[in-house]
Chain A
Amino acid sequence: MAERCAVIGVGQTHHKAKREDVSIAGLVREAALRALDDAELTFADIDAVVIGKAPDMFEGNMMPELYLAPALGAVGKPMIRVHTAGSVGGSTSIVAAHLIASGIHKRVLTVAYEKQSDSDAMWALSVPQPFAAPLLAGAGGYFAPHIRAYMRRSGAPDHIGCMVAVKDRQNAMRNPYAHLHLPDIDMKTVQESVMLWDPLHYLEACPSSDGAAAMVLAAEDSLSGRYPPAWVHGMAMRSEPTMFAGRDQVNPRAGRDCSADVYVQAGITDPRAQIDVAEIYVPFSWYEPMWLENLGFCALGDGWKLTEAGATAFDGDIPWNTSGGVLSSNPIGASGMLRFLEVAMQVRGQAGEHQIDGARIALGQAYGGGSQFFSMWVVGSEKP
């Protein structure tokens, strides 16, 4: 019988291009200590640690959980290291939540990070492999054709992506932890920024960040913390192969199946009506309208219309990425967990300037690989 699980503490670093003031251990510890402080606990109260990050070659440190165990207070405890590509921050949260839901542990610390300035992610992604097509263009070059396909299918006008880029950066102005604070951003500056991967301009792409995120998860009989708990109402992961004839890379079935699973668990039948706020993995602007459709917030082909009408804006009926999203902070391994963490902050009422009043049910989503790995959770202010 599954036990209830709640988020009782959250913490994150100030995300920056280069955090030269801390080591990797210092970075993850900064987020972990903030999460423990928020939960009004110390490392001694924690039963197990679950850590996640994107490929080890991003920092050049193999299986870094070994090196990070003492910095995260894990000595003498179980420690698990998750790696599921870009969705890893979400998957890590889910693996940690299952340690509570299974009844095995009472309080689990989960942490995710990337310290991109320690190495070169573009290099790490581009190591030639025998018999495999090289990914020399990096993620933006990989996704740009999918975005073009979406535009062709839906008939979306060119300016939609730029609108997302402006909206998310304006939201980031409300979030003191966000990497990018661009007070003067507007449609013109985005449209005039250099074209990196047509149709993506420079300002429509996520930054490269150093940063970490952490959460304390607890069982129903082990609650504490400065704010009310965020209850996990549903969680799921889905994966599908990178490529095969007939695969829909614009609207992947794994994403649709994953949301369908999590909605059933959370009792959601009308996402747009029932979900108060959502943090969705949008590393390139156009993924907002694409995921609006994939997640069932609207009919196929209508995602861009919601964006254009301002439905996803801070004052819209379905605010998306009120934290500024991946477009404003992208410590890759942590980017998924930041989505899961931000929605917990919303339903706990601790999001400060980017708080949506009365947020009670919220969706966090992360994706990775070639839009093939998905992790999602729905959290709520009420007990499920």
Chain B
Amino acid sequence: MSAARAVRPVSVASFAQAQNVRRDDQRNEVEGLLPVIAEAFGAIGITKDDVDFICSGSTDYLVGGPFSFVMALDAVGVWPPRSESHVEMDGAWALYEAWVLLQEGKVDAALVYSFGRSSLGDLNEILTLQLDPYTMAPLWPDIVSLNALQARALIDAGKATEADFAAVASRSRRDALANPKAQVAGDIPVETLLEDEYVVAPLRRHALPPITDGAAAIVLAAGDKATRWSERPAWITGFDHRIETHALGARDLTASPSTAKAGEVAGVAAGPVDLAEIHAPFAHQELIVREALGLDGTVTVNPSGGALAANPIMSAGLIRIGEAASRIAAGQADRAVAHATSGPCLQQNLVCVLEGA
């Protein structure tokens, strides 16, 4: 986004998410998603006929079959035919695609959703298939081990300690007690957490995200619809995302230049930040993203509990934007930053700045 370009005001008009659970045996992906979309529409009294565009995010590798988005779209019921698109990415990027379209000013409302059941396979091994298929995936490094390398690099660089990771986890799970959708919550002091066994050193159980089945939906609105559908719209005032190289050995794993760049383009530093919802599946990643976004100790981070409280793959990023927007709509914050990530060790990052009236 060039600085000269005027951003068309677009608001997060509605947000809903599924109850995050370890395994939802009662419903398939689509059955888990539909009530969430109904809730997002119902909260502002609209139907699918009130949106001009639909965009979703999901991955075939969770359900283990091609075209998982097709069955979801069938159930959403795109009839008469709709202008619709899909990204094989976290729903936060689907939201970005919809936001881009709304920037042109031809349409005013969009439905964005994402879904995934991480419980259906061995997630730790499935995510290995994201790696270079010729040089890395055949070695089958699991994702927990790769993130442990990143945590180790932070410790070796003197940037953090295991107690810092535990402090992030302790605070996140404590805050999650106030989040009725959270999967993992509890008031456990740092000292107790540090008695956990290592899963892969230096990561103990508490520094890992839970495995979560979930879904989320957001309605984006511009123009009259934005003000009609929200008493206090959460306006997107900056939005950008960046990717880094895939070669882990070529990256400084203790920093996130892609987050820093996205934050710069989105204008994070242009005003005070009241709260940040950071998509950090592993505890140590919150520290890296905080630094990249330049957030100081005055910023409330992850009041929802973040991805350590619930990590539905493909939705956890979109949920960060929804959580931040909800707090603006409720008057609990005036300016918030939401972050989403994709790929091993924070390879790709998205930053969305939201502001109240």
A residues apposed to B, CB below 8 Å: 1-2, 23-24, 55-70, 74-85, 91, 94-95, 98-99, 101-104, 106, 118, 124-125, 127-132, 236-244, 252-254, 257-258, 261, 369, 372-373
- CB-defined contacts of A101 to chain B, threshold 8 Å: 104
A130-B28 contact given A75-B243, A80-B96, A239-B73, CB 8 Å threshold: yes
B133 to chain A, nearest CB (A): 5
Residue of B240, B246, B344 ringed by the most chain A CB atoms within 10 A: B246
Q: Which of B65, B87, B244 contacts A69 (CB 8 A)?
A: B244
- CB-defined contacts of B2 to chain A, threshold 8 Å: 103-104, 106
- CA A56 – CA B2 in complex, angstroms? 33
Mark the stretch among B122-130, B171-179, B191-199, B217-225 that contacts chain A. Answer: B122-130
Tell me the nearest residue of chain B to A124, going by C-beta: B66
Contact A239 B100 (CB under 8 A): no
- CB-defined contacts of A253 to chain B, threshold 8 Å: 80-81
Contact B74 A242 (CB under 8 A): yes
B287 to chain A, nearest CB (A): 22
- CB-defined contacts of A79 to chain B, threshold 8 Å: 241, 243, 348
A66-B78 contact given A57-B66, A98-B104, A238-B83, CB 8 Å threshold: no
Query: Interface residue count for B (Cβ, 8 Å)?
Result: 65
- CB-defined contacts of A60 to chain B, threshold 8 Å: 129, 133
B residues apposed to A, CB below 8 Å: 1-2, 5, 28, 54, 59-61, 63-67, 69-71, 73-74, 77-89, 93, 96-97, 100-101, 103-106, 126-127, 129-134, 137, 240-247, 257-258, 261, 342-344, 347-348
Q: Sorted from nearest, which 8 A-B pairs have the closest CB atoms?
A: A254-B81, A55-B66, A102-B103, A239-B84, A62-B129, A83-B88, A66-B343, A240-B81
B180 to chain A, nearest CB (A): 30
B248 to chain A, nearest CB (A): 11
* New contact pairs (5) apart from A66-B243, A241-B74, CB-CB < 8 Å: A57-B60, A65-B243, A102-B100, A239-B82, A240-B80
B80 to chain A, nearest CB (A): 7
Tell me the nearest residue of chain B to A242, going by C-beta: B74
- CA A129 – CA B243 in complex, angstroms? 33
Q: Which of A64, A99, A128 contacts B100 (CB 8 A)?
A: A99
- CB-defined contacts of B87 to chain A, threshold 8 Å: 80-83
Q: List 17 A-B contacts (CB under 8 A).
A: A55-B60, A57-B61, A59-B133, A61-B130, A62-B129, A63-B130, A66-B246, A69-B243, A69-B246, A74-B243, A83-B69, A85-B67, A95-B85, A237-B85, A239-B73, A241-B78, A257-B80
Tell me the nearest residue of chain B to A58, going by C-beta: B66
- CB-defined contacts of A80 to chain B, threshold 8 Å: 87, 89, 93, 96-97
- CA A70 – CA B247 in complex, angstroms? 9
- CB-defined contacts of A128 to chain B, threshold 8 Å: 65
- CB-defined contacts of A106 to chain B, threshold 8 Å: 2
- CA A99 – CA B344 in complex, angstroms? 26
- CA A60 – CA B64 in complex, angstroms? 11
Tell me the nearest residue of chain B to A240, going by C-beta: B81
Contact A63 B59 (CB under 8 A): yes
Residue of A77, A81, A85, A261 ringed by the most chain B CB atoms within 10 A: A81
- CB-defined contacts of A23 to chain B, threshold 8 Å: 134
Contact B348 A76 (CB under 8 A): no
- CB-defined contacts of A236 to chain B, threshold 8 Å: 83
Contact A238 B81 (CB under 8 A): yes
Residue of A56, A241, A242 ringed by the most chain B CB atoms within 10 A: A241
A104-B100 contact given A55-B66, A69-B246, A81-B87, CB 8 Å threshold: yes
